Amino acid sequence: MTSSNKYKILVVEDEANIRSFVETILETNGYQVFTAGSCRQGMLIFSSHCPDLIILDLGLPDADGLEFIRYARKSSAVPILVLSARTAEQDKVSALDLGANDYITKPFGTAELLARVRAALRNSRHSSEMGSVPGGTFRVRDLLIDYDRRLVTVGGREVGLTQTEYNIVTLLSEQAGKVLTYSQIICAVWGSADSGSVKKLQVNMANIRKKLGTKPGDRKYIANELGVGYRMLAEEE
């Protein structure tokens, strides 16, 4: 697995020692970590880096962490793991009702935190609003996607995709045989669309084709339905 395919985790925590501790734990276990010390900074990183998971403290200096959950849920289903000193049942209920996926109270154990992280990533992939994290493998011709290892190979050769490219390929493979429109792909991968979104998608698809060793118009793995979207060939095609 190439480093570009690491899961990205955003840690929003105002206490520097806890933030650093969590960052170290996650990086030691192979995750790519972004950190923020305030709600506003967390929102900015969330919007620009599209993390696969958010670990969120509720007691932030500039706003309640619940505001962050509301903000994230407007555009994304990214799993949110609340890590808070608040132990009251109502605090947990409020966070979960707003869309948090899990809630851990401080102090916490390293093993428990990592187990909750693995479970959250296993149960929900933010980049697709259309389904859960696939398991096992997908194969069409000599293209193989190993979802558990986040590895893509062609003829046994590892393909070094960026995180965005990987998300697009796996999204298409989960819906193999079905045409996904430009807007469906854009919303699933980036969370929202703007005037340059289709061009951005087309640039990423051109890079994917090049890395897979195919040319424009080649329907070996991914078919381009002109003016509509893209379709990953089904395994039996």
Looking at the predicted structure, is the pLDDT value of residue 2 above 50? Answer: no
Q: Mean pLDDT across the stretch 89-105?
A: 87
pLDDT of residue 207: 92
pTM over 0.85: no
Distances (CA, A) of 103 to 21, 57, 85, 154, 155: 18, 10, 10, 40, 43
Indicate the residue type of 9: I
Q: What is the pLDDT of residues 228-237, one digit of tens each?
A: 889 999 865 5
**Fold designation for 3-123:** Rossmann fold (3.40.50)
Please answer whether residues 46 and 56 qualify as being in contact, where contact means their C-beta atoms are separated by less than 8 angstroms: no
Looking at the predicted structure, is the pLDDT value of residue 79 above 70? Answer: yes
The half-sphere exposure of 20 on its side-chain side, counting CA atoms within 13 A, is 3
Per-residue DSSP letter, 100:
-
**Residue 132 pLDDT level (bands cut at 50, 70, 90):** very low
- Residue-by-residue DSSP string for 51-65: -SEEEE-SB-SSSBH
Looking at the predicted structure, is the pLDDT value of residue 78 above 70? Answer: yes
In the chain, where the domains are located: 3-123, 137-232
Looking at the predicted structure, is the pLDDT value of residue 168 above 90? Answer: yes
Q: How far apart are CA 122 and CA 150, in angstroms?
A: 12
- The CATH architecture to which 137-232 belongs is Orthogonal Bundle (1.10)
Looking at the predicted structure, is the pLDDT value of residue 150 above 80? Answer: yes
